[in-house]
Amino acid sequence: MAKILIIDDEKAINDLIAVNLKMVGHEYVQLYSGDQILKTLNEMRIDLVILDVMLPGRDGFEIVQDIVKRNVPVIFLTARNTVSDKVYGLEIGAEDYIVKPFEAVELIARIHVILRRNQKAANEFRLDDTIVDLEKHMVTVHGQEIEITNKEFQLLDLLVQNKNIALSREKIIEQTWGFDFYGDTRTVDVHIQKLRKKLNWETRIKTVYKYGYRLEV
């Protein structure tokens, strides 16, 4: 679990990010301008900042320099979509740059990549009698290591990182098989059934009717 600071003056977007962070087990702090950023960083441990560029008062491009000096990673999440803006944002210290509108699943995935890179995310996930070692790509059930294919582990990792969030079959294909996959989306159903059986998660991996799947914890 990480503590993530959200800085966005659009309340609807700020709240949307907060809800998704909560669903996957992270704590969050919400700000709507850059005025309180230094006070917040001084008062509490922050593991990552999600930062808009166009803010009241000091803009995100100016604020980011105060954040990275404290070795806190930053993701820009903004409507500023020119190549020059993206390049500039990365050059001044942001670890990632995401343009609005955005997919919540993609944002969560990028957050976890950065947290792992900075060693601030748990490498182990436990549920019932199953332990998933996200670093070693190893899964044990009742203390016994089980055989799991690379593709099954990628799918499992995606479900774990987005626990309690419904993922469409198309999104699962995109994140696990890639954009260039041309097979039948029913391959997701086959892999899900295998995971359910191997992990004893028949009641944990829920089918979202006519949509996809969700790992409930």
pLDDT at 54: 94
pLDDT at 147: 95
Written as six digits, the tokens of 37 are 């950023």
Give percent of the chain above pLDDT 70: 98
The DSSP-derived string for 106-152 is HHHHHHHHHHHHTT-S-SEEEETTEEEETTTTEEEETTEE----HHH
Residue 71: band (very low, low, confident or very high) from pLDDT cuts 50, 70, 90: confident
Residue 87: band (very low, low, confident or very high) from pLDDT cuts 50, 70, 90: very high
Q: Which of 15-19, 36-40, 181-185, 191-195 has the lowest mean pLDDT?
A: 181-185
Q: Please report the sign of the dihedral spanned by the C-alpha atoms of residue 82, residue 84, residue 88, residue 94.
A: positive
Q: What digits encode the pLDDT tens for the residues 38-67?
A: 889 988 889 999 999 999 988 999 999 889
* 46 vs 28: CA distance, rounded Å: 9
* 160 vs 215: CA distance, rounded Å: 7
* 210 vs 208: CA distance, rounded Å: 6
Output the CA torsion 174→176→177→182 (10° steps).
-40
Prior bond of 101 cis (ω within 30°): yes
Q: Is 16 helix (H, G, I), strand (E, B) or coil?
A: helix
* 160 vs 216: CA distance, rounded Å: 9
Residue 41 phi, psi (nearest 5): -65, -30
**Average pLDDT for residues 30-34, to the nearest whole number?**
93
Residue whose token pair is 């740059």: 97
**Average pLDDT for residues 93-106, to the nearest whole number?**
94
pTM value is 0.74
Q: What digits encode the pLDDT tens for the residues 143-192?
A: 999 999 999 999 999 999 898 899 999 999 988 988 777 777 789 999 99
Residue 120: band (very low, low, confident or very high) from pLDDT cuts 50, 70, 90: low
Q: Is 80 helix (H, G, I), strand (E, B) or coil?
A: coil
